[in-house]
Structure 1
């Protein structure tokens, strides 16, 4: 089996995502660049049909022309969004799209998420992008334009997809999944902090602090 270790790791992580409410039966998909010729990617309907309990062989090996090289399943229609990220920067090694429970509050409301925790400061702003329909070319273009406007060399990108979910890129799968966990904790904190602020219990203070950004 091609890329067995990498496909086993990806299958394990998407199972964790589902069990931790970091995605749901409405979707989510993850891909990893293994070299200049191939990515590995979760198949379409991995959440709806399998509840993310997929085997390593269901993780598809796909070439850069979006052809399946190996694996049991079909390619998700959101591959265009993944490819837009990989073509943006050759250093991007993972694209993670999820319907994470707490972050979905901000995505559904079309709100930028306040970045409040120390562990998320490396993200910078956490924007909610303009709405574009799921799986559409417009959505892929919206993501591409955001990344281009952010920085041509951006590798770590964390954004909310309006009414849809979250999208994260980084150099590898472990870092991207780590970012998802950090984002979800920040979403929980931000939701409560906004309520405290609105109720007059405690005001959100936007101070410039000397955060430790080392990983």
Structure 2
């Protein structure tokens, strides 16, 4: 089996995402850049059909043109969004797209996540991109254009309007770490807004 350890790692992170509610049965996907020609990626419908409980042979080994070399199942149509991000961020080695509970509120309303804690400040802006239909080439182009504006920033995270979050980093574990940090940041943002609206916090004296 090609890249067995890397594919096992993707399985572990995928299951953790589902169990910890940073994605849901509506989907999400993970990819890792192995080298210039080969990528590994979760198959389409990984959440809906398997509740993110995958085995290494479920993980697809792909060329940059989307040809399946190994793995069961079909390639997700989000592959274009992933490959476009790799093309514009040469330092990216892993990408996670997910549907986290707290961040989905910001993505659905088109809001930017503020850095109220220090754990996510290295991301810089975390804005919501203009709406484009899920899995579409239009969405892939929206993401690619934004990533081009970020130049070589790593890590980078952005929200997809009404759809979820996309995070790129230098390794899969780092990307997952940033996903959880950002989900907690969204929770802090929401609770801070509630506390402010109730008049319980008026800022530092």
Separation of aligned partners in 2, 1:135 and 1:194: 32
Match for residue 142 of structure 1?
142
Match for residue 130 of structure 1?
130
Where structure 1 has 5 or more consecutive residues not aligned to the other structure, the ranges are 206-215
Where structure 2 has 5 or more consecutive residues not aligned to the other structure, the ranges are none
* TM-score (normalizing by structure 2): 0.97
Match for residue 15 of structure 1?
15
The answer to whether the Cα contact below 8 Å between 1:196 and 1:203 also exists between their aligned partners in 2 is no
Separation of aligned partners in 1, 2:198 and 2:109: 19
Q: Secondary structure at the match of 1:138?
A: helix
Give the RMSD, CA atoms, in angstroms. 1.1
Q: How does 1:7-86 map to 2 (within 5 A)?
A: 7-86=7-86
* TM-score (normalizing by structure 1): 0.92
How far the C-alpha of 1:204 sits from its partner, in A, is 5.9
Match for residue 210 of structure 1?
none
The answer to whether the Cα contact below 8 Å between 2:89 and 2:148 also exists between their aligned partners in 1 is no
| Residue correspondences, number | 204
Separation of aligned partners in 2, 1:133 and 1:174: 28
Ranges of 4+ aligned residues in structure 1 off by more than 6 Å: none
Quick check: 1:181 aligned with 2:187? no
How far the C-alpha of 1:40 sits from its partner, in A, is 0.3
How far the C-alpha of 1:90 sits from its partner, in A, is 2.0
Separation of aligned partners in 2, 1:87 and 1:130: 20
The answer to whether the Cα contact below 8 Å between 1:15 and 1:54 also exists between their aligned partners in 2 is yes
CA 1:39/1:198 → structure 2, altered by over 3 Å: closer, same or farther?
same
Quick check: 1:162 aligned with 2:161? yes
